[in-house]
Amino acid sequence: MGILAAITAKCAEANVNISDMSQTVMQDLFVMTMLADISQCRVAFTDLSDTLKQCGKEMSMQVHVMHEDIFNSMHRI
């Protein structure tokens, strides 16, 4: 199973809707950014984060999950 398929399958299991996503290679690293709507998520945010991190670990990748509030604070000028 591919990276995108594995991550989105875990999101679908939790009833998370992917609103937008991008993929690129930066400095020889694969980078995928996803904007997800968790308003109908069936699990706690921390459980979703743990599940996605474990999914990444199983593919020898790192997955970072962050709430929109934190993302916005980090990227505010």
Q: Are 65 and 53 in contact (CB under 8 A)?
A: yes
Residue 77 has a pLDDT of 65
What's the pLDDT score for residue 76?
76
Residue numbers in the chain where pLDDT is lower than 50:
none
pLDDT score recorded for residue 20: 95
Q: What is the pLDDT of residue 55?
A: 97
Q: Which two tokens stand for residue 56?
A: 């990444």
Question: Pairing relation of β-strands 17-26 and 29-37?
Answer: antiparallel
Domain ranges of the chain: 3-75
The token pair at 33 is 């950014």
Q: Provide Rg for the chain, Cα atoms.
A: 13
Conformational region of residue 69, where left means phi above 0, alpha means psi within -120 to 50, and beta covers everything else? alpha
CATH value of 3-75 in 3.30.70.260, 3.40.50.1980, 3.40.640.10, 2.20.25.650: 3.30.70.260
